[in-house]
Structure 1
Amino acid sequence: MTLSATNLTLARGGVPVLTGFSFTLAPGAALILRGPNGAGKTTLLRTIAGLQPALEGEITGAEDRIAYAAHADGLKAMLSVSENLTFWARVFGHDDITAALDAYRLHPLADRLAGTLSAGQKRRLGLSRLLVTGCPVWVLDEPTVSLDTEAVGMFAAAVRAHLGRGGSALIATHIDLGLEAEVLDITPFRAKTTARVGASDEAFL
């Protein structure tokens, strides 16, 4: 199923950030979002993931199909690497975490408490959770933060494999991941006004 957004108008804290924004993302495809800091990439991804409402426009193909990875790694510090992955796998009705451990070379860290990992290791673990969700659409906000060059390669390989299985990925990033993907600059869709239009999204911040 294609994920699509049509004529979205979005606000953050009641202040418009994007207007008239549309895209389509087919199975097996990736879409890279570009734009300067503060342009509205995070607001857009949060809206697509269902974490805050759009002021206007329509989103289709997102229902219960999205795995969202934001700036926080979403880990339980007092659980081990394998326990964190098992927890999330069971949330989504699965048990096997082998593919996630393999993709990010986490086997040597499997028994380490997540709270004792380095920033890069925590990021690898956080991203590996995508592989245990079974969700076909990955929505990713600056996923390579804290990753070294080798780990960026692991991430890119995981995305390619996901696309090869018919999944799709919407990624906000400033770096070249070496993926075959459409690149969309959101800058032309930045709102022209900064006048507050309400606070309907503030409960989601």
Structure 2
Amino acid sequence: MELKVTDLSVARGGVPVLEGVSFTLRAGEALVLRGPNGVGKTTLLRSVAGLQPPLSGQVGLDRESMAYAGHADGIKATLSVRENLDFWADVFATDRVGKALAAFELDGLADRHAGNLSAGQKRRLGLARMVVTGRPVWVLDEPTVSLDVDAVAMFAWAVRAHLRDGGMALIATHIDLGLDEARVLNLGPFRARAPEPDDFDGAFL
């Protein structure tokens, strides 16, 4: 299995932000996307994951193979930590809740309501959903927001375990995750050209 992205161009608010992005990700590999704020990392990830259509190009892998984690933690505050993971286990028809709790050291918080967690604990719970899905491709947008140094290391360990199991990870982040084995793709060279004055109105159609 491989994730092959070919000449992908994406837009935000009708305005092109990236053009001609191509890369291939194979089993056991991680790719880190870099670039300044606003370059289009989130837009690219959402297009790869099938959450919004690209302007052009191809994503050569079924989106059902992917699990996406964006800026929101995607948790239900009135449910406990375990109940949140049980919910996602039911959605994805897996039995990986115990593995997810262990991966993000949530066992001791399993019975606590998610609404009573700290920001970092909520983020860990949100990321633990990725383990529960059982899907081979993790698409992660700034996954370490709200995490302290120890939790970042915990996340990196979880990614390595996923890669060892034959998974893949596509990650947009500004920080060094300590994943020396990951390749890095700088999105700066793929910035879309600014619209010509005659094209300006068309950019918003």
The answer to whether the 8 A contact 1:8-1:56 is kept is yes
User: Number of residue pairs matched?
Assistant: 199
Q: Which has the higher contact order (CA 8 A, sep 6+)?
A: 1
Q: 1:95 is aligned with what amino acid? A: D
The answer to whether the 8 A contact 1:49-1:62 is kept is no
Runs ≥4 residues deviating over 4 A = none
The structural deviation recorded for 1:4 is 1.0
The aligned counterpart of 1:203 is none
Q: 1:3 is aligned with what amino acid? A: L
Percent same amino acid at aligned positions? 66
The answer to whether the 8 A contact 1:48-1:62 is kept is no
The aligned counterpart of 2:2 is 2
The structural deviation recorded for 1:8 is 1.0
Deviation by residue 1:81-103 (Cα, 9 ceiling, x = unmatched)? 00000000110002341111101
Deviation by residue 1:151-175 (Cα, 9 ceiling, x = unmatched)? 0011000000000000000000111
Deviation by residue 1:18-52 (Cα, 9 ceiling, x = unmatched)? 01111111110000000000000000000011000
RMSD: 1.0
- SS in structure 1 of the partner of residue 100 of structure 2: helix
Structure 1: gaps of 5 or more residues: 200-205
Q: 2:155 is aligned with what amino acid? A: F
Q: 2:80 is aligned with what amino acid? A: S
Query: 1: distance between equivalents of 2:113 and 2:49?
Result: 29
- SS in structure 2 of the partner of residue 132 of structure 1: helix
The aligned counterpart of 1:183 is 184
Structure 2: gaps of 5 or more residues: none
Query: 1: distance between equivalents of 2:167 and 2:188?
Result: 27
The aligned counterpart of 2:75 is 75
Q: Which moved more, 1:162-171 or 1:175-184?
A: 175-184
TM (norm. structure 2) is 0.94
